[in-house]
Structure 1
Amino acid sequence: MKKIALAAAAAMMAAGTALADPVEGVWQTQPDDGKFAHVRMAPCGPAFCGKIVRAFKDGGNEYKSPNLGKTLVIDMKPEGGGAYKGRVWRPSNDKIYLGKMQLNGDRLALRGCVAGGLICSKQTWVRVK
């Protein structure tokens, strides 16, 4: 009985690892107003959210931003083929936009749009780990 329980536990752990979404992990944003961040992407319900875990300014010097711990990527739902839809927050103007992400290996292209997608801003993030 003990062997069966151990085998079941090992199988569940292996399945959990295999089922991790490739967008999960830490990503580095592009500079915005001279600052950039590391954002941890993780599941949040049926979607993915990204929280700021480190902040940098002045050519890469880490600092204690008031935005640490805040959610930058909000409820991004997978749509298949590396595409996600949700919302994104831009700290420099404190606005939330309709968002899209497209994962391509260790690059994550993000778009934040207003006016039904007519006006968009975009960034490409790179995977940190």
Structure 2
Amino acid sequence: MNRFIGRAARRVALASALLCGALAAHAQTDTPVGVWQTIDDHTGQPKALVQISADANGDLSGKVIKGLGANDQPDRRCTACTDSRKDQQILGMTIIDSMKKTGEGYDGGHILDPENGKVYRCKMHTEDGGQKLVVRGYMGISLLGRSQTWVRQQ
């Protein structure tokens, strides 16, 4: 009888550990925190890797950590920028800031397009179990903008 109880307790402990691990993995992938591959709107080719991180308040920001393809030029600068990022290197540049959790997504922040130097309001949410990030940059209202789908990198 004691052997049966011992085996049952081990099975329950194992099942509990597996479930906790699965829930933790889901929680980690259901957030935008991580590294994302951006896609060029015009060519459809990978453009850059952006690392999104959270600060102590849970607000998200994102910086360019690698250029891909034709954008893989470490000394490339944001010549079109009009704010403090003018002529700064794009590699290492923060292009997303002040994103706050709102319901199922994040909103309230800004995103810089280094190609044209414009700063847009931004909202984002994950899809496909956290493997895709839909990023929408817009002016004024969300209807006046465009969305990109970024792909999570492992």
TM-score by length of 2: 0.62
Structure number with the higher helix fraction is: 2
Structure number with the higher strand fraction is: 1
C-alpha distance after superposition, 1:51-89 (max 9, x if no partner): 00001233xx733133011111111111132x0002111
Rg larger for: 2
- Are 1:39 and 1:53, in contact at CA under 8 Å, matched by a contact in 2? yes
Partner of residue 94 from structure 1, selected from 117, 120, 127: 117
Extract unaligned runs of 5+ from structure 2. 1-23, 77-88
* Correspondence for 1:23: 32
Of all paired residues, the percent bearing the same amino acid is 34
1:43 and 2:51 aligned: no
- Let me know the Cα RMSD of the aligned residues: 2.2
TM-score by length of 1: 0.73
1:76 and 2:87 aligned: no
Give the residue type in structure 2 aligned to 1:37.
Answer: A
- Aligned residue pairs: how many? 109
* Correspondence for 1:14: none
- Are 1:38 and 1:53, in contact at CA under 8 Å, matched by a contact in 2? yes
C-alpha distance after superposition, 1:12-59 (max 9, x if no partner): xxxxxx68672211001111566711001101342000000001233x
| Alpha-carbon distance in structure 1 between the residues aligned to 2:113 and 2:72 | 19
